[in-house]
Amino acid sequence: MEGALKRLIPLFILLSAVVGCPASLSAQEVVEASDVLSEPIPEEIVASAVAAVAKLGDEVVLGKYKVAIERMNPLWKERTAKRVGGMQKLEAQLENVAREMVAQGISMISFKPVGKPVAHEIWPGKKMVGGTERLVYTQWMVLVPTATRFRIIREGDPKPIVLESVSYQVAVSDKVKIDWTFIDGSSLNLGDLRSMYLTLPKDMELPPVHKREVR
């Protein structure tokens, strides 16, 4: 059953899995979180991220897989495209995976946010505060736990199998203009995330990821 589970990862998860090497470190490497002016994270920002993840899931369940590429976090998309040889190859890979899922009798039947999201501020920039130029966070990051269910129809077996993948989406948006982009968490680790956002909390933990058969 474990082999079947690995084949059932949805397209936006498969695309994230092809990235194995960390991105080169940016100027954020020399910035300590204590040097950056922070602010409370509004509840409506967290709610907005959760709603955006739910919308992404609705689109993908309907078979609109290219939305996963269009809404992929730009830094993560650039890394992914570079890894597979360019954006055209990335899109071609999408189409191949979609056909393979159909050929194997695999379909995604639901995708939804579950559990409690966790929010952070990221990406230091500069802003005048009280007549003094200060480092401030310019983006929101919300880790939104998710549950995705797949149906497998096996040849010769009239009863389908339903599998559930518990994971999360990393939703990122500029503070000035709320427009969420996403990194799938199924194959993500803290090293990947810190290589792009180096001021993340040192004690930060990622949501759990696991798969199981639903009976």
Residue 11: the pLDDT is: 43
Residue 49: the pLDDT is: 98
Residue 32: the pLDDT is: 67
Query: Pick from 64, 66, 164: which is nearest to 109 by CA?
Result: 164
Residue 119 parent element (H or E): strand 118-129
Does residue 12 sit in helix, strand or coil? Answer: helix
Tokens representing residue 46 in the block: 């967290």
Handedness of CA 77, 136, 208, 106 (dihedral sign): negative
pTM of the prediction?
0.83
Residue 166 parent element (H or E): strand 161-174
Domain boundaries, the chain: 2-201+206-214
The residue ranges of the chain whose pLDDT is under 70 are: 1-33, 215
Using CA atoms, how far apart are residues 13 and 183, in angstroms rounded to an integer? 9
Residues 89, 139 contacting (CB under 8 angstroms): no
Which residues on adjacent β-strands are paired with residue 135? 126
Residues 206, 189 contacting (CB under 8 angstroms): yes
At position 57, the amino acid (one-letter code) is: G
Residue 5: the pLDDT is: 44
Residue 31: the pLDDT is: 61
Residue 19: the pLDDT is: 33
List Cβ neighbours of 208 (8 Å cut-off, separation of 6 or more). Answer: 166
